[in-house]
Structure 1
Amino acid sequence: MKTERVTGGGSPEKNFDRNVPKKPAVPLKTDHPVMGIQSGKNFINTNAADIIMGVAKKPKPIYVDKRTGDKHDLEPSGLVPKYINKKDYGVTPEYICKRNEEIKKAQEDYDRYIQENLKKAAMKRLSDEEREAVLQGLKKNWEEVHKEFQSLSVFIDSIPKKIRKQRLEEEMKQLEHDIGIIEKHKIIYIANNA
């Protein structure tokens, strides 16, 4: 076996490895092969029996790339997916598991935060007595505004009188609307502003 080593000068210096085992010597002219040894084995029948009893060899996977029949090995071609033979095939990677856990924890924290805020801003139900008290108060206010509206003069000849009449009409309309809503709905919720 020949090895080359490059020295500082740039020219290769040839070294020979002497540890390679030597080949057997060439037989001499006077040496004759051993003759006359015969075996009782029937090689034809033995080979036939081995082939009949043996397992069929699987054909080597190939692919043909031209219609003329150029055959090539399938394994190094890249057409066979080798990744399914890996030990960790189908196993979710660690970083994805960690990311999923972080997402799940963040979602739980967010849900907990929303629940706390909903409890803080929970709606309070108005009892029937409170509802009646509010309704009576609105009706009383409407009567007072209506009485004041009735006490206006029939002739509106100045701008302040006209503005006062419009304001009273708007107040009465708003009170009528509020009274209608409270009478229409039996259950009323009020938002806590705490």
Structure 2
Amino acid sequence: MKDLQPIESIYNLIPREEVKKSKAPRYMSTFKESVKFEEKKNKAACKTMGPAKVDVPSPNEYLHKHTKELKLAEKSGFLDSTERAPRCLNEERRRPSVPLRTDQPLMGVQTNKNFINTNVAEAVMAVPKKPQPIFVDSKRGDKHHLETSGLVPKYIKRKDYGATPEYLVKRNEEVKRAQEEYDAYVKERLKMGAMKQLSDEERHSVLEGLKKNWDELHHEYQGLSVVIDTTPKKIHKERLEIEMRQLERDIDLIERHKVIYIANN
């Protein structure tokens, strides 16, 4: 509304009280006293009157020429012409020393070997070097060794190729032994009359009865209404699904196991 009023208005003639804005309280650090104490404590630690008192250098100790250049260490002594400095600490790896100027070379050593014919014979009898097998895996011609690539069937040429590992043989023996012990225990219990084994006819009849019950439940399930909007309908549908699922588990159990034992009690 103030912006809509013109500059010259009768309301501007009324004197108004000047409103002073109140300032926020000044921030005071909580560490003010500790900072003051530390400042007063270390204030006069290095306090001096005038320039620092340092020893004045002597006029005789000035910088001489070439004093900052690096110098090699002086040798402890000179070797004679007959002495030689050791080059290697290992005596076996040390090369033979250079013969002295006063040593006499071996004279009168001769040989009848024809080096030209020998080299020709060695070149003729030499076996040609076979190229190393490689394979290329890119259009730029990147080469790799074929033997270490895993593409060479070198493992089928081993003596033990195709043989059953020892740990598998031991495991099969242990499984067979455990199965034999279990069969012996079952036979013993059968003799005692604690369990009864179902015959093939009984097993087949039980399996057929379970499948017939499942067919009846499935026929009833297929006859349910499409829209299940009441609680009794939902409960009836869930009961049929649970019974059909249980029958499916029983049928699968009997089909997977050919031998079935039943306790007499």
Q: TM-score range by the shorter chain?
A: 0.3 to 0.5
TM-score, normalised on structure 2? 0.28
TM-score with structure 1 setting the length: 0.38
Higher relative contact order (CA 8 A, sep 6+): 1
Structure number having the greater helix percentage: 1
Report the structure, 1 or 2, having the larger strand content: 1
